[in-house]
Structure 1
Amino acid sequence: MKNPLLFILHALITVPVAVLSGLLLVNQFALSPLLASAGAVAAGAVVYFGLGKYADARLYKKYGLTRKEYNFIFENMKEAKKKLSRLQSVFVRVRSISSLKQMIELNRLVRRIFSVVKKEPKRFYEAESFFYSHLDSVVELAEKYALLNTQRLKNASVKQSLLETKETLDDLTKTLEKDLHKVLAKDIEHLTFELDVAKHSLNKRELPEDREEGSRKS
């Protein structure tokens, strides 16, 4: 996604341009300091926003997205990041080892999907069900489970709810695994192809050696 360092880089370019523009307007065009300052600010603004537009255009081209698509995905990623923080906060409220392991696995899968899409925003469209449905379900159920788990007095109803929630979270873990596999499907396909090519290449190398060895034996 957008690099915050670009703001600093643009500022480092814009400030010298604004200062030089102000000096030029004073020395070469004999403008008053007030008018020269206004001109310097205007020149700086043009350079700053121009650099921003250029950087955005390169960014959209890099990810193969339009500005509208990029901003849409960026907003969804911001919301998803908040949900990731909520899910992580569940850790401190879980007491049993088995439940902790379950939360660790859920967090691992969720963060893995998020990091893949963050690196390549176009893959958002391959994980829409994750961002629109599955992530919400995981967060809400995990928070519910953590809340029930902290209750000191656990009657039959609470225990039954805990059991059902844990089972549903197990099902959601499998669903997240499918989401991750879907997001990584192209990488897996590419790797499989590369492996097939490598195996084919090795087989072609081994054939002449086998023939040579066979001729020696005969």
Structure 2
Amino acid sequence: MRNPLLFTLRTLISIPVAVICWPLFVNPIGLSPLPAAAAAAVIGGIIYFGIGKYADVRLYKKYGLTRKEYNFILKNMKEAKQKLNRLKNVFVRVRSISSLKQMIELNRLVRRIFSVVKKEPKRFYEAESFFYSHLDSVVELAEKYALLNSQKLKNSSVKQSLLETKETLDDLTKTLEKDLHKVLAKDIEHLTFELDVAKQSLNKRKLLDITKKGDKHDYDNK
């Protein structure tokens, strides 16, 4: 989303400009050192924030979002990132192989959805149910399951809760698969279209080759 190198770039440009401006304000213009330093700092600040504003406008245009929409999505992505870290921490508390496989699959799905939306923030609106509901359910149930599974003594009540939680997580895995498919629906549709075009082109080429071979065969017979 936002380029982490942008801050460094803005700093590397604005500070040298301010440093260059200070002696120019002192000698040619004739300002005293303190006002000259203040004026140079203002120039540097204008350049710093100007570059940031320009970069933001380019960013919003790139993603096809308004500033309000982008910041709203960014806020939700930060919250989702924290939940992903919580889900990742469940790994160290899971003991059985089957449970570990389940957690690996859940992590794979949620991180795949997150990475797709991170790359193209506008797709957030196609995965709202994931960010507002499904991700919370997955994290809370996974943590509950890990807690119950870590208990050394398991009575019938704990075992029943473990079974029910695992079954619910299985259902949520299927739900996440649907969420991922929904987020990738446009890509799948585009790929299908490209495949259809490629097949049509290939069939036309085969037909043309067959026609050319037939013409050549008739010519040879003559």
TM-score, scaled to structure 2 = 0.96
Letter paired with 1:177 = E
Name the stretch that deviates more: 45-54 or 137-146. Answer: 45-54
The 5-angstrom pairing of residues 144-155 of structure 1 reads: 144-155=144-155
Distance (Å, rounded) in 1 between the aligned partners of 2:131 and 2:196? 34
Letter paired with 2:40 = A
Letter paired with 1:43 = I
Please give the secondary structure, in 1, of the residue aligned with 2:30: coil
**Structure 1, residues 162-190: CA drift from partner, whole Å, max 9, x if none?**
00000000000000000000000000000
Letter paired with 1:197 = V
Distance (Å, rounded) in 2 between the aligned partners of 1:28 and 1:54? 31
Deviation at 1:211, TM superposition (A): 2.6
Matching of residue 94 in structure 1 with residue 94 in structure 2: yes
Give the match for residue 35 of structure 2.
Answer: 35
Structure 2 spans left out of the alignment, 5+ residues: none
The 5-angstrom pairing of residues 1-218 of structure 1 reads: 1-214=1-214, 216=217
Letter paired with 2:138 = V
**RMSD (Å) for aligned C-alpha atoms:** 1.1
| Moved beyond 3 Å, runs of 4+ | 212-215
Structure 1 spans left out of the alignment, 5+ residues: none
Letter paired with 2:206 = E
Distance (Å, rounded) in 1 between the aligned partners of 2:43 and 2:98? 62
